[in-house]
Amino acid sequence: MDDDTLVSLRRDLHRKPEPAWREFYTTTRIVEALEELEADIDELYVGPDAIAGEHRLAVPDEAELDAWYERASAYDIDADVLESLEGGYTGAVAVLHRGEGPTVGLRVDIDGLPRAESEGAGHEPAEMGFRSEHEGAMHACGHDAHATIGLGVIDAIADSDFSGTLKVFFQPAEEVIGGGKSMAESEHIEDVDYLLAMHIGLDHPTGEIVAGIDGFLAVAHLEATFFGEPSHAGARPEEGRNANQALATAVQNLYAIPRHSEGETRVNAGVIEGGSAANIIAEEARLVAEVRGETTELMEYMREKGTRVLESAAEMHECELEVELGAEAPSATSDQGLVSIVADVAGKTEGVERVLERDKLGGSEDATFLMERVQENGGLACYIGVGTDHPGGHHTSTFDVDEASLRHGIDVLAGAIERVSLEQPGR
Amino acid sequence: MDDDTLVSLRRDLHRKPEPAWREFYTTTRIVEALEELEADIDELYVGPDAIAGEHRLAVPDEAELDAWYERASAYDIDADVLESLEGGYTGAVAVLHRGEGPTVGLRVDIDGLPRAESEGAGHEPAEMGFRSEHEGAMHACGHDAHATIGLGVIDAIADSDFSGTLKVFFQPAEEVIGGGKSMAESEHIEDVDYLLAMHIGLDHPTGEIVAGIDGFLAVAHLEATFFGEPSHAGARPEEGRNANQALATAVQNLYAIPRHSEGETRVNAGVIEGGSAANIIAEEARLVAEVRGETTELMEYMREKGTRVLESAAEMHECELEVELGAEAPSATSDQGLVSIVADVAGKTEGVERVLERDKLGGSEDATFLMERVQENGGLACYIGVGTDHPGGHHTSTFDVDEASLRHGIDVLAGAIERVSLEQPGR
Amino acid sequence: MDDDTLVSLRRDLHRKPEPAWREFYTTTRIVEALEELEADIDELYVGPDAIAGEHRLAVPDEAELDAWYERASAYDIDADVLESLEGGYTGAVAVLHRGEGPTVGLRVDIDGLPRAESEGAGHEPAEMGFRSEHEGAMHACGHDAHATIGLGVIDAIADSDFSGTLKVFFQPAEEVIGGGKSMAESEHIEDVDYLLAMHIGLDHPTGEIVAGIDGFLAVAHLEATFFGEPSHAGARPEEGRNANQALATAVQNLYAIPRHSEGETRVNAGVIEGGSAANIIAEEARLVAEVRGETTELMEYMREKGTRVLESAAEMHECELEVELGAEAPSATSDQGLVSIVADVAGKTEGVERVLERDKLGGSEDATFLMERVQENGGLACYIGVGTDHPGGHHTSTFDVDEASLRHGIDVLAGAIERVSLEQPGR
Amino acid sequence: MDDDTLVSLRRDLHRKPEPAWREFYTTTRIVEALEELEADIDELYVGPDAIAGEHRLAVPDEAELDAWYERASAYDIDADVLESLEGGYTGAVAVLHRGEGPTVGLRVDIDGLPRAESEGAGHEPAEMGFRSEHEGAMHACGHDAHATIGLGVIDAIADSDFSGTLKVFFQPAEEVIGGGKSMAESEHIEDVDYLLAMHIGLDHPTGEIVAGIDGFLAVAHLEATFFGEPSHAGARPEEGRNANQALATAVQNLYAIPRHSEGETRVNAGVIEGGSAANIIAEEARLVAEVRGETTELMEYMREKGTRVLESAAEMHECELEVELGAEAPSATSDQGLVSIVADVAGKTEGVERVLERDKLGGSEDATFLMERVQENGGLACYIGVGTDHPGGHHTSTFDVDEASLRHGIDVLAGAIERVSLEQPGR
């Protein structure tokens, strides 16, 4: 694939960001792109065949899935592929067989975010006409580039000295930490000997490569609903049981969970929503929160404290509480055997000006489910950072990538995959 | 109008509840019903001609108005009338001239509430098939009955000894305290000598009439938006400015505004909404609150304190704040000259078993704008309660009216209006 | 007693304010003054003989009692009387028998407040040298004047046409709502046919009398202690269970208990205290709160909600909770039979320029225990306001009384007591 | 000094714990012990001569100082020394000259904590009769052992091959982070080439030595007072400006300051106190809080956010705010040149079973002021941990030390000081 094709593909995906489990257009477009490659893909698993559907986490409700499915149907894309994804079974796994050798996996994620994209001057996607067509949704974390790089790597490997099997996992629903587990539980990961995962940006500029990223925070979501009792706020304030008050008490106290001496913790009450009218005591209020920890134990500490806060806040305001334990991901580390190869390849790659052997993420990622599985099976795993100049921070309305980094990512990853197949490093 | 017609009209309106400024079907249906009456209406003002459009308060945004307009368009109703309401100019004023005499006004409100209606066993509208067709909206305060009674009164007056002019104000948007002002600012109220307003239920059973209701709480809405700064909750928690935290702090402290020794106050943070995803520090959060007071001064006290809470909460969490002062209504009292006539008429009305001369509302009502205007102009005003057995409380999902009370309301009101025109009481 | 004696007695008491159950000097001084009267007191009950000791509420701890006892011992007063009060058994009941007739009670309270008195220019007690000698304590509610008036009334009645028995209750511990019950449970109240109680000031100026005060709020105290677990705030923040956090959550939510549609409610977290050092997670925190209601039912509503808030806040922060239900008083109303006499007498009293028949207190008073008891026994009770110009509000550091009102109070009360004994009004 | 002397000295100090700046007995007793040593101390600086008095931080008020001074006066100790400490100028610096060589400093802290000591079975000081005689105060962090070790080291060095000058800094007020600065600003530190500081326990068992401790959290205290307006909580709740409410809002939000991605932060609202009576809206409330950070920058982040929270909470409740920036300490690291020597000496010391080269404190210490000053002057500094079995955690009521570790501490420190004087390591 030449640079123009890469850029055009990335921009097409950028224009149609689809949040978690709603990657209907995205998955279909990836499948079409795979079919358009010069090289033949040996095996292709799409949607329900690519993932263990029962292990999907944080799946939105049917109405939401249907609305996005409808939206995707309006595009001129392969209707059979699209249809196979119905109900939120998205993602794909593409397999290349190239002789004897180990099975190497590459995992890229493909979903967008539910946030509006900037229309401002200086935001290149807006200025150059590939800003999101889906109001309120945006590729604000570069997964459009990830999908493009995944395709570019297959294309490059097909034409290399690679020896073995390559599996590229186009993973859905990373942003809600919802898709990793469903791919880690699928059969496709079972025979993978080496797994590479990657992310663009992360505050590293274009030309910089991080060979091995660690410091993934374990994460869990808490989706709480407070059920109170409505009443007229003027005439009968004492008869209500106020779900909004319960929620506000919970939010105040969630952020105030004690810090922990054994390492970093996080908490965020990201989404709140409650009540129906100014003059009605709120009958129902919903909170989507997440907790994180430097280790799984620290995350559990936060989750336990957070659950207690939710329960007590409900009790204080005489509300019923339902807590759904949603998405969740463990921690993980990159194996040195792979890190060394990636660092070495990167150092020799055109356009790469600086190679960091290690860095910390400080966020969470459900690639850790796949890394953990491969490592449990005796394989090696590694998470790679591909620098890109991004004007706005990740998840902000002015995030964008420097498209020059698409080629850097493909070259480093394809180069490393080739070398791994030949050297087969041990732990 | 016979009882069957009344019931059938009320149920038709009940089936299609439309919240404030979205009473497209409702207004059109009322106009059609007026035109179907045996007696000719002398003057009829609809939509923009019935209200002072620039004084509408708490009008929803265009998308919301359009959605409900579309919904109304799907019904088989008078397209010309409907079209005249576009943009949220709803309501109607019907005028009957019957010889010499004073101008008597009757004000009824017509809007529904944005809350779901019960589907449960025992909820008569559900069991008898006239439950709301509009999911998430409901006539949970009896304004379907009010509109019906308004029509019934015109019909009855046309056929009575009434002498003078009758104006019936079918007022939109009472539930958001948004429509009263627009009718009080219209020319139609200017020559009204006597104004009656009414409400069904209010915890009074079928057969009970309250001749004069007082104790209207003055009310004002505060619509606040906190604007923060998003950031990744795992990777850069310190870079966010958390709109959800600001909102939670505000909610906790709004309810905690000191009580006042001079009378009743109220506060409610009825609607909250903030943030976009579990892993993003919330960029924006919205709060719709209301404050009330037994007098306008007490309401102002609450509004001033509430505004300070909002501002300080924003400042604490480094958010920007926008506060829109929304709907608002004054306090009011019922004049004894009218109360006495209503009590007397009610005592002689078939089906009325108990008459209370006075009671307190304890809530707010924007009929007070019209009452205040008439009283300022030297006229008299009175607010009447028509008892009805209602299984659930006002604004709850199981609210319903006893349809027998439709006739009681019409008889008492029409009787009183006739008497007023003949006796012309002074203050 | 001439005016100089009154003023000098009042100033002496003002100089030595003693808070609830610590009225050691005060009680002894009152006994001495009774003994100095020209007329003989027929019966005198002091300390444990004046009250039902087991019904004392809100008694401070021994160390506190001892400290004040020591302080009183330093004054040159009757050691035998003082000794009889040890342990916080304060107060006195003085009885005059004057022939046939009903038993009339007068209740005056005698305690000071635990608050510092102003030293500022313009504060007369400071300027004229009778400011509190007890740092941190002050007669900021005029009970020094009440005790003085009580003595003046006995003196006046002894010399009047009064016929019957007069009992004057010098009640301790009103400010903590702690003494009223112990006098209402004593035998002395049992035969009282008519009870008058009184308060000075209450925002009424000198020369104004309120014949019958109502609107007493029922009140109850909640004394809560949160027991957590200390830990080093830097090294092991997660090991603490934070009593200060529990308390702060409770305070925020106590004030936010929903207002009630049936009447006035109040809540105050008046005293908070917790933790031992900046670097230790607070092990223990204490909260003294009070709730009130226009009726006893409304107070119970507040107490129930408040208790729930305390319990849930403790649970949220994994603290143990102890709640002591402290002082408490019911509501009460003044009987018209007495109100009419007081109003009539006041209207003819020199220096009284304005008489209000009724007014509302809007606070609490444990005179209500005595009023309730007398009314339950078939007698009449009445609470009288004696206006006085007071520069600062009640309970503030610049509160003071206009000493001219001492005479007004004595004249109105003695006059009314005389009239009551002669007329013996029925309900 | 033999073991019996050490133990007896430590127990004597343990019996009379004195909190920060109140170490009147402690300082005097140390001076006496220095004078009792066989070896002559060459220079001895006491109280105001040992510290830069104007740089004392977090000094308690005069009444508090006086009370503790009185308490110390009751003991049979050198009155001249005691007198020199009046006003809270505590601490001492002892100097030994032993020929040519560098100046080596040893810093030990001597203050107790304001917390009650356990009386429980199993708490050795209670069982063996040396529990605190000062109710509410306790040596709960082992500074009694530190002072003892400091004396033992002087004694040992006097009798060793040490060549140069030894200065032992008996530092007051470490627990409030108040004394370190005053010693770092004194002239005594200026010529110190090598500084050792030490702490006992820290979760390391008897027989364990940590040669170099790092991870000192920078710390700062915030002492805030909210000034509101009192009013009667029943009669005029709206006229108060509630200092307790402001404080509770602040506490809730202080703990909720966002975590920081660049490292550990801490916050604690350790002491709260407000209001005067249940029925008065609190006029004044005080909060003693502390913030910490892994670096000084992170501490500053917390302090800035914390200050904003305090200010906004005051504004929200219409209170005035005074914030005193109290105690403060920077971060610090141990120099490898010293760490290596300490580790080597410790490895050869009798009774030492395990040597850790490095560990993290996770707390704060104002020894860092002295370390920073020595390092700025081109010298080396090192902070050493001396393991001891402690049944309860630091700062808890059951904390105690294993007295066997007194000897370990003396031997390791004296050995290291001797070696340093001979080897004079560079950076």
D274: its two tokens: 């407000």
- Give the CA distances from residue A349 to residues A355, A381, A405, B124, D237, in Å, rounded to whole numbers and listed in that order: 10, 21, 12, 75, 73
pLDDT class for B296, splitting at 50, 70, 90?
Answer: confident
Closest CA to A214 of A410, A374, A368: A368
Residue from C1, C39, B361, C60 nearest C23 by CA: C60
pLDDT at D71 over 80: yes
**Quick check: A362 and D253 CB within 8 A?**
no
Question: Which of B124, A376, B254, D145 lies closest to C258 in space, CA to CA?
Answer: B254
CA D361 to chain centre: 14
Compute the distance between CA of residue A266 and CA of residue D84 in angstroms, rounded to an integer: 51
Helix (H, G, I), strand (E, B) or coil at D114: coil
Q: Do B259 and C266 touch (CB under 8 A)?
A: yes
Q: Do A247 and B175 touch (CB under 8 A)?
A: no
**Predicted pLDDT at A284:** 97
Among candidates C252, C259, C261 on the partner chain, residue whose Cβ is nearest the Cβ of B259: C259
Q: DSSP per residue over A228-292, as a string?
A: -B--BTTT-GGG-B-HHHHHHHHHHHHHTSPP-TTS-EEEEEEEEEE-S-TTB--SEEEEEEEEE
Confidence (pLDDT) at D427: 63
Report the alpha-carbon distance of residue B152 to residue A2 in Å, rounded.
77
Q: Which residues of A touch D259 (CB under 8 A)?
A: 259, 264-267
User: Is residue A326 over pLDDT 80?
Assistant: no
Phi and psi of B46, rounded to 5°?
-125, 140
Residue carrying the six token digits 């809470």: B309
Between CA B247 and CA B321 the distance in angstroms is: 10
The pLDDT score that the predictor gives to residue D323 is 96
**D270 interface with A at CB cutoff 8 Å:** no
Considering the four listed CATH numbers 3.90.1150.10, 3.40.630.30, 3.30.70.360, 3.10.20.30, the one that applies to the domain covering D218-329 is 3.30.70.360
- Secondary structure of residue C6 in the 3-state scheme: helix
CB nearest B235 (choices: D238, D252, D261):
D261
- Topology classification of domain A3-216+332-423: Aminopeptidase (3.40.630)
Task: Provide the annotated binding site of D for Mn(2+).
Answer: 141, 143, 175, 199, 395
From A115, A252, A270, residue closest to B278, measured CB to CB: A270
Q: State whether D272 and C292 contact (CB < 8 Å).
A: no
How far is D209 from D204, CA to CA, in rounded Å?
A: 8
User: Which of the residues in chain C have pLDDT under 50?
Assistant: none
Instruction: State how far the Cα of A65 lies from the Cα of B120, in Å rounded to an integer.
Output: 28
Structure tokens at A174: 């990373």
Q: Which of B220, B173, B197, B211 is nearest to B371 (CA)?
A: B197
Binding site members of A for Mn(2+): 141, 143, 175, 199, 395
Which residues in chain D are closer than 8 Å to A258, comparing Cβ atoms?
A: 255
Q: Is D266–A259 a contact, with Cβ atoms under 8 angstroms apart? A: yes
Contact between residue D258 and residue D186 where contact means Cβ atoms under 8 Å apart: no
Euclidean distance between CA atoms B419 and D25, whole angstroms: 96
- Cα torsion B295, B298, B303, B308 to 10°: value is 170
CA neighbours closer than 13 Å in the CB half-sphere of residue B337: 17
Among C202, C249, C276, beta carbon nearest to D271: C276
- What's the rounded Cα separation, in Å, for the pair A358 and A209? 10
Closest Cα to residue B185, out of B201, B169, B207? B169
Measure CB to CB from residue A249 to each of C253, C308, C311 and give the nearest one: C253
Burial class from Cβ neighbours inside 10 Å (0-12, 13-18, 19+) for residue A251 reads: buried
B2 has a pLDDT exceeding 80: yes
Contact partners of B by the rule of 3+ C-beta pairs under 8 A? Answer: A, C, D
pLDDT at B188 over 70: yes
What tokens appear for D114 in the block? Answer: 């304001």
Terminal CA-CA length for chain A: 34
β-bridge partners, D241 = D229
Task: Give one DSSP letter per residue of B382-403, joined into a string.
Answer: EEEEE----SSPTTSTT----T
Assess whether pLDDT exceeds 90 at residue D364.
no
Do B256 and C259 lie within an 8 Å CB cutoff? no
DSSP E strands in D297-337: the ranges are: 320-329
Closest chain D residue to A248 measured between Cα atoms?
A: D252
pLDDT at B347 over 80: yes
Which of the other chains make 3 or more beta carbon contacts under 8 angstroms with chain A? B, C, D
Nearest to A237 among C242, C260, C318 (CB): C260
Q: Taking a C-beta distance cutoff of 8 angstroms, is the pair B346, B359 a contact?
A: no
Stated as kind and residue range, the H or E segment containing D291 is strand D284-293
User: What is the spatial distance between Cα C107 and Cα C109, in angstroms, rounded to a whole number?
Assistant: 7
Q: Quick check: A251 contacting B, CB < 8 Å? A: yes
Task: Tell me what percent of the residues of chain B surpass a pLDDT of 90.
Answer: 91
Give the closest residue to A105 by CA, choosing from A94, A113, A116, A114: A94
In one-letter notation, the amino acid at residue A388 is T
Distance from CA of A59 to the nearest CA of B (A): 14
User: C264 — contact with chain B (CB < 8 Å)?
Assistant: yes
The answer to whether A309 contacts chain C (CB < 8 Å) is yes
Task: Name the average pLDDT for chain A.
Answer: 95
Give domain limits for chain A.
3-216+332-423, 218-329
Query: Counting every residue, how long is chain C?
Result: 427
Beta bridge partners of B385: B199, B210
With 90 as the cut, is the pLDDT of residue B426 above it? no
Q: Which of D216, D217, D249, D255 to mutate to test the interface with A (most CBs of A within 10 A)?
A: D255
CA separation for the pair D283, D29 (Å, rounded): 43
Of the pLDDT bands very low, low, confident and very high (cuts 50, 70, 90), residue A39 is confident
The alpha carbons of chain A give a radius of gyration, in whole angstroms, of 22
ipTM, two decimals, is 0.76
pLDDT digits (tens, 9 = 90+) for B10-21: 999 999 999 999
Q: What is the pLDDT of residue A427?
A: 63
Q: Do B115 and A277 touch (CB under 8 A)?
A: yes
Rounded Cα gap, residues A343 and A412, in angstroms: 9
Query: Residue A332's pLDDT band (boundaries 50, 70, 90)?
Result: confident
Q: Name the minimum distance, in Å, from the CA of C138 to any CA of chain D.
A: 12
In angstroms, rounded to a whole number, what is the distance separating the alpha carbons of residues B324 and C99?
A: 73
Q: What is the DSSP string of C107-141?
A: EEE---BSSPPP-STT-HHHHTT-S-SSTT-B--S
Q: What is the largest CA-CA distance in chain D?
A: 79
Mapped onto helix, strand or coil, the DSSP state of residue B96 is: strand
Cβ within 8 Å of residue A24, ≥6 positions away: A18, A68, A69, A71, A72, A73, A82, A85, A90
Hey, which residues 350-369 in chain D have their CB within 8 Å of chain A?
362
Task: Find out whether B308 and D316 touch, Cβ atoms under 8 Å.
Answer: yes
How many contacts does B have with C, using Cβ atoms within 8 A? Answer: 23
Residue listed under structure tokens 């929160």:
A289
Beta carbons of B266 and C259 less than 8 Å apart: yes
Q: Could you tell me where the DSSP H helices lie in B16-142?
A: 24-36, 62-73, 79-84, 124-127
What residue in D sits closest to B301 (Cα-Cα)?
D238
Which pair of tokens denotes residue B248? Answer: 């939670």
Q: Does A249 touch chain C (CB under 8 A)?
A: yes
pLDDT of A121 over the 70 cut? yes
Chains A, B: CB contacts within 8 A come to: 212
Cα(B278)–Cα(C67) distance, rounded to whole angstroms?
A: 57
Interface residue of D118, D244, D316 to substitute, partner C, most C CBs within 10 Å: D244
Sign of CA dihedral C254, C256, C261, C265: positive
Name, in order, each residue with C-beta under 8 angstroms of B83's C-beta and a sequence gap of 6 or more. none
State whether residue C81 is helix, strand or coil. helix
Residue A20 confidence (pLDDT): 96
Distance CA D269, CA D252 (A): 9
Residue C138 zone, left/alpha/beta (φ > 0; ψ -120 to 50; rest) = beta
pLDDT tens readout for residues D163-188: 999 999 999 999 988 999 999 999 99
Range D392-413 average pLDDT = 95
Is A258 within 8 Å of chain C by CB? yes
How far A265 CA lies from chain D's nearest CA (Å)? 8
Average pLDDT over chain D reads 95
Cα angle D259, D261, D263 (rounded to 5 degrees) comes to 85
Q: Give the burial string for D243-271 (b: 16+ CB within 10 Å, else e).
A: bbbbbbbbbbbbbbbbbbbeebbbbbbbb
pLDDT of residue B327: 81
DSSP string, C145-186: HHHHHHHHHHHHHHTSS--EEEEEEEE--TTTT-SHHHHHTS
Q: Is B57 helix (H, G, I), strand (E, B) or coil?
A: coil
Does any CB of chain D come closer than 8 Å to the CB of residue A205? no
| pLDDT for res A112 | 97
User: Across-strand partners of C223?
Assistant: C288, C324
Supply the pLDDT for residue C222.
95
pLDDT band at B39 (very low <50, low <70, confident <90, very high): confident
Backbone phi and psi for residue B111, each to the nearest 5 degrees, phi listed first: -90, 160
Is B301 an interface residue toward D (CB < 8 Å)? Answer: yes
Q: pLDDT confidence of B427, banded at 50, 70, 90?
A: low
Question: What pLDDT score was predicted for residue C24?
Answer: 98
pLDDT at C164: 97
Instruction: Evaluate whether C220 touches C327 at the Cβ level (below 8 Å).
Output: yes
Structure token pair of residue A401: 């990538």
**For position A105, what pLDDT does the model report?**
98
Give yes or no for a contact between D383 and D367, defined as CB atoms under 8 angstroms apart. Answer: yes
Query: Assign residue B40 a region: left if phi > 0, alpha if psi is -120 to 50, beta otherwise?
Result: beta
